[in-house]
Structure 1
Amino acid sequence: MESFLVKLCSLTKTTISIHSFHFLAACAMIFLVLYLLSRRNQVFLVDFTCYNPPNCLRAPISAFIEHIERSNKFSQESIDFQTKIHSRSGIGNESCLPDTLHHLPPSVSLTDSIEEVQTILFPMAEDFLLKNKISPKSIDILVVNCSIFCPTPSISSMIVKRIGLGSNIRSYNLTGMGCSAGLLSVSLAKDLLKIHKNSLALVVSLESLTHNGYPGKVKSMLLTNTLFRSGGTIILLSNRKQDRRRAKYVLQHLVRINMGFDDQSYTCVFQENDEEGHVGVSLSRRTMHIASNALRTNMVRLGPLVLPYSEKIRYLWSVFLQRVCADPKSKQYIPDFKKAFEHFCIHSGGRAVIDAVEDNLSLSEEDVEPSRMALYRFGNTSSSSVWYALCYLEAKGRVKRGDRVWQIAFGSGFKCNSAVWKCVSDVHPTCSLNPWSDRIHLYPVEVPEILDT
């Protein structure tokens, strides 16, 4: 009897051991599948660069004022208004304008606009591909965005012809998408990379200023003359396994918000004719209010993807107290996004844009320093501005492996787009293609509330 019980216990233990092994093997298999699925559609940012204008194109405040005075296109009231706005814009004396706008009178023909675009893009693209040892024929996808200037053939076709991309290139040219178009282009490239496996995508973002100056007297349209400056960026994205080790970042999330259904949002940044027939882009007084609403909407959709559970619980509890318990003393809790990100790259649309995001997110001066310095040195470079801020962080040596970066861009329509990147390599601050490298030791600088005019 005792022998029988011993054999029974031994058999039971063996059975349990077999079942335990099968259970652990099944769990391991499930985790392996989930891990592979999570990595299968990853989009890597291999490298990027931003346009660094030559010093001869600088447009210091004194030269800007003299230029608009001698152009004989503006009334004294319009000159005084632009002088006042420029002095308070947060833009310093190193920002640049294209060569065509340094002429008197400015050269604003179609040929001049094409020359401006080619001057920015061609040398930058050639140097970028050479530095990264990328053959033009290996590029599978090209996405270009330039909001207002749309020539025929397109800018994307110019790039295809100049750098010799292959005949099977999937080329896209986006226009009219505003300052948030840079992240929108990344979104399009990401979606294409999900479909086309083992591919490289080149994303190009810029804005042309040559023919977009406003010569009239409507103040809401004169604002664009004082804010926009030359800039552009090129980004190399990949889903190839061999690019995993050399990539700088991996794209974790991209959230896009379009508030165009609302009349005020739709018209707050609007291109139109004034009473005298001059074409300009009007910026509404409510733009900052609309931008704040769009940012909050974006945060609501992004928050569940990135915030730690502690912040989610505190937010839900505040909503419960407000809506269910109807507690008049309770306020809706604004999650602390600094617990989700180490770095912030805000669209350098102007001092007011950066201030609004700083207030909405309760950021510190150090958090918004990259965007303030990008605005100060380069001005509003439209869709490429968030990349100048990231270049600043890299040149300062602040981006470390494992850090998360939140890029926030605003644009006409009205749109608010967010991109979340995770650093997956050691980023070297001495990169030769970083436009900050030659003078990063001079920054940050103190930006006064009112600059001398």
Structure 2
Amino acid sequence: MTSRIHSLETAVPDAVLRQVDARDLFARQAGLSRLGTRLIATAFDASGIEQRHTVIDELVAPRDSPLVDADGGIRPAPTSERTALYARYAPALAIDAARRALASASVAADEVSHLVTVSCTGFVSPGTDLALVQALGLAPSTARLHVGFMGCAGAFPALRAADAYCGADPEAVVLVVCVELCTLHLQATDEPEQIVAMSLFADGAAAAVVSARPAAGDALALDGFLTDVLPDSVDEMRWMVGDAGFVMHLSSRVPGHIGRGIRTALAPLLPEGPQAVDAWAVHPGGRSILDHVEDALGLPETAMAPSRAVLSDYGNMSSPTVLFVLRELLTGGARGTVCAAAFGPGLTLEAARMRVEPAGSRA
């Protein structure tokens, strides 16, 4: 039996942070070196991002709060305060995306057999998984799995687990929900690696319904998964829990490592080569990453257009972002073979081969 994604839906916070305003906010922080100020201007202006969404609306309209003071100064709030904000805001965003996904797939709550949640930006227990069960009216017996701290590539282990559940039980219906609140961990800094991270990350959620049942509308059949670790890159991307929030170390060498390694890494998943792929859903970890993937695989500029559109409108939301790109492909009428890929700490490459099944078709 072939598992398929029946629906993909997304949700973002209401507050919109324009990239030019984010740049100016960070450049005004006290204690920045002259070099740090220049790096902020360069990183933010070259990001390919027009706007981002955030649960911290005081970043848009400064007022006194745990993370931002009334003058727009970013406070060094302890991780405990940031975690409390995660517990307040993450469930609602996840529930919004999940409710939309169930409705889009015409799946009732009592049909869901498995729930897989993904997040790397906050941890509480009981957490978002139980909040989803209760808010959506899922059965208390719904099997739950959480994929934690796997970074931007976290959606792929979740989809792989969903595929395995459906392979074991053709009647399984799996709800996959990714939610990330990256802006909870924004920090005033003049460290080059962290400045790049501050220029990229945003908040959002995405949900998918996966089942081997026939789909009512267009669906994405799951034809295979791949995991690989790119050579000599273990220290190039790190995501760690710090005392004043989670800390991202993002080396400027990451795009080059991806460009040098991606063609070889994808070969087992794409034995016919990249030219056999009709549509690409590459996680927009940054503009330079998309440029390097495009060049390394010999793709036309149009191949990365959905990824660039998501980057421009939403920024890098970590794990949900590639699902935003897949949704962009489906709503844009993509057909044929799809290759989706994302990159996480390691550097770990996660990828999947998919196939668009138009409404009414059967595997």
TM-score normalised over the length of structure 2: 0.86
- Kindly indicate whether the alpha-carbon contact (under 8 Å) linking 1:116 and 1:210 is maintained by their aligned counterparts in 2: no
Q: Does 1:283 align with 2:250?
A: yes
Corresponding residue of 1:28 = none
CA distance in 2, matches of 1:210, 1:87: 18
Q: Does 1:165 align with 2:165?
A: no
Q: Give the counterpart letter for 1:59 in structure 2.
A: L
Matched ranges for 1:332-411 at <5 A: 335=273, 337-338=274-275, 340-397=276-333, 399-400=334-335, 403-411=336-344
Q: Which moved more, 1:62-71 or 1:138-147?
A: 62-71
CA distance in 2, matches of 1:73, 1:184: 41
Task: Pick the aligned partner of 2:49 from 91, 114, 121.
Answer: 91
Q: Displacement of 1:64 after TM fit?
A: 1.1
Q: Secondary structure at the match of 2:325?
A: helix
Q: Displacement of 1:371 after TM fit?
A: 1.1
Deviations 1:399-418 (Å, cap 9, x if unpaired)?
24xx1111111111221111
Task: Pick the aligned partner of 2:5 from 35, 45, 58.
Answer: 45
Q: Displacement of 1:210 after TM fit?
A: 4.1
Question: How many residues in Structure 1 have an aligned counterpart in Structure 2?
Answer: 344
Q: Does 1:254 align with 2:225?
A: yes
Q: Displacement of 1:359 after TM fit?
A: 0.6
Q: Give the counterpart letter for 1:151 in structure 2.
A: V
Q: Does 1:143 align with 2:76?
A: no
Q: Do the aligned partners of residues 131 and 407 (structure 1) sit closer, same or farther apart at CA in structure 2, a change above 3 Å counting?
A: closer
Larger relative contact order (CA 8 Å, sep ≥ 6):
2
Q: Displacement of 1:113 after TM fit?
A: 1.7
Q: Give the counterpart letter for 1:409 in structure 2.
A: A
- Kindly indicate whether the alpha-carbon contact (under 8 Å) linking 1:345 and 1:389 is maintained by their aligned counterparts in 2: yes
Corresponding residue of 1:67 = 25
Deviations 1:153-183 (Å, cap 9, x if unpaired)?
2221221222121121110111111111111
Corresponding residue of 2:127 = 154
Corresponding residue of 2:74 = none
Corresponding residue of 1:190 = 163
Q: Displacement of 1:123 after TM fit?
A: 2.2
Q: Give the counterpart letter for 1:267 in structure 2.
A: D
- Kindly indicate whether the alpha-carbon contact (under 8 Å) linking 1:177 and 1:413 is maintained by their aligned counterparts in 2: no
Q: Do the aligned partners of residues 80 and 118 (structure 1) sit closer, same or farther apart at CA in structure 2, a change above 3 Å counting?
A: farther
Q: Does 1:266 align with 2:234?
A: yes
Q: Do the aligned partners of residues 74 and 146 (structure 1) sit closer, same or farther apart at CA in structure 2, a change above 3 Å counting?
A: farther
CA distance in 2, matches of 1:365, 1:247: 25
Deviations 1:40-93 (Å, cap 9, x if unpaired)?
x31021111122443xx111133213332455464554333222201001111x
Matched ranges for 1:219-234 at <5 A: 219-234=192-207
Task: Pick the aligned partner of 1:204 from 168, 171, 177.
Answer: 177
Deviations 1:330-364 (Å, cap 9, x if unpaired)?
xxxxx4x12x1111111111111100100111111
Q: Displacement of 1:389 after TM fit?
A: 2.1
Instruction: Calculate percent identity across the aligned residue pairs.
Output: 19
CA distance in 1, matches of 2:138, 2:159: 19
Q: Do the aligned partners of residues 409 and 106 (structure 1) sit closer, same or farther apart at CA in structure 2, a change above 3 Å counting?
A: farther
Corresponding residue of 2:71 = none
Deviations 1:185-238 (Å, cap 9, x if unpaired)?
101111122223311001111222243213333211221111011222100000
Task: Pick the aligned partner of 1:425 from 348, 358, 363.
Answer: 358
Deviations 1:239-295 (Å, cap 9, x if unpaired)?
23xx34545121111111134xx6x42211113589x98752111232123223442
Q: Give the counterpart letter for 2:290 in structure 1.
A: I
Which of structures 1 and 2 has the bigger CA Rg? 1
Q: Does 1:416 align with 2:349?
A: yes
CA distance in 1, matches of 2:11, 2:132: 15
- Kindly indicate whether the alpha-carbon contact (under 8 Å) linking 1:348 and 1:386 is maintained by their aligned counterparts in 2: yes
Q: Do the aligned partners of residues 74 and 115 (structure 1) sit closer, same or farther apart at CA in structure 2, a change above 3 Å counting?
A: farther
Q: Do the aligned partners of residues 277 and 160 (structure 1) sit closer, same or farther apart at CA in structure 2, a change above 3 Å counting?
A: closer
Gapped regions of structure 1 (runs ≥ 5): 1-40, 308-334, 428-453
CA distance in 2, matches of 1:279, 1:346: 25
Q: Give the counterpart letter for 2:308 in structure 1.
A: R
Gapped regions of structure 2 (runs ≥ 5): 68-80
CA distance in 1, matches of 2:2, 2:246: 43
TM-score normalised over the length of structure 1: 0.70
Q: Secondary structure at the match of 1:257?
A: strand
Matched ranges for 1:95-110 at <5 A: 95-100=52-57, 102=59, 103-104=62-63, 107-108=66-67, 109=81, 110=83
Q: Secondary structure at the match of 2:175?
A: strand
Q: Do the aligned partners of residues 144 and 73 (structure 1) sit closer, same or farther apart at CA in structure 2, a change above 3 Å counting?
A: farther
Corresponding residue of 2:208 = 235
CA distance in 2, matches of 1:239, 1:206: 24
Corresponding residue of 2:105 = 132
CA distance in 2, matches of 1:71, 1:284: 23
- Kindly indicate whether the alpha-carbon contact (under 8 Å) linking 2:11 and 2:97 is maintained by their aligned counterparts in 1: yes
CA-atom RMSD in angstroms? 2.5
Q: Secondary structure at the match of 1:280?
A: strand
Which structure features the higher share of strand residues? 2
Q: Give the counterpart letter for 2:225 in structure 1.
A: L
